[in-house]
Amino acid sequence: MAKFVVHQEIYTFQIDYSRHVSNVIYIQWMEIARLKLIEAAGMAAHDLGAGGIVPVLVETSIAYKKPLFLGDKVRIEVWISDLARASAVMEFRFYNQNNDLAASASQKGLFMELESGRPIRLTPEQRTLFEPFLGD
């Protein structure tokens, strides 16, 4: 299993009144990492959308461990912990430059047919594309 890694900078507009990264930024970072993993698997979101298929979320959970601050460098690791016929669970870990765990998260998502609004099942060929990112 290969964890997919994304690096993010922290900008002043991402800081909340407590002087650390706002919780909503983690959601944005998960969106970035998720779409980059889908693209790395060979299914770029813009190509899917043009074909009438879109990735959608049905559940998000985040556990904050340590705050991130302006000047920190963020490493996000993402992988798929469960790949079902029509859905998948993605795991995320957020680390600072000292390799301290700042947060852990998971999201459950699926692919939906845009016109009908109904979930679609991955073909065996599509499932194979995600297998390199499948792990515990």
* Inside any domain, residue 54: yes
Tell me what pLDDT residue 79 has: 97
- CA gap 73, 80 in Å, rounded: 24
- The domain total for the chain is 1
* Inside any domain, residue 135: no
Tell me what pLDDT residue 1 has: 64
Q: If we measure between CA atoms, which residue out of 62, 38, 64 comes closest to residue 49?
A: 38
pLDDT tens readout for residues 64-96: 999 999 999 999 999 999 999 889 999 999 999
Token code pair at residue 8: 């993010």
Range of the domain at 60: 4-130
Half-sphere exposure of 25 (CA within 13 A, CB side): 22
pLDDT tens readout for residues 24-67: 999 999 999 999 999 999 888 777 777 788 889 999 999 999 99
- CA gap 13, 8 in Å, rounded: 14
* Inside any domain, residue 136: no
Instruction: Kindly report the CATH number assigned to the domain that includes residue 43.
Output: 3.10.129.10
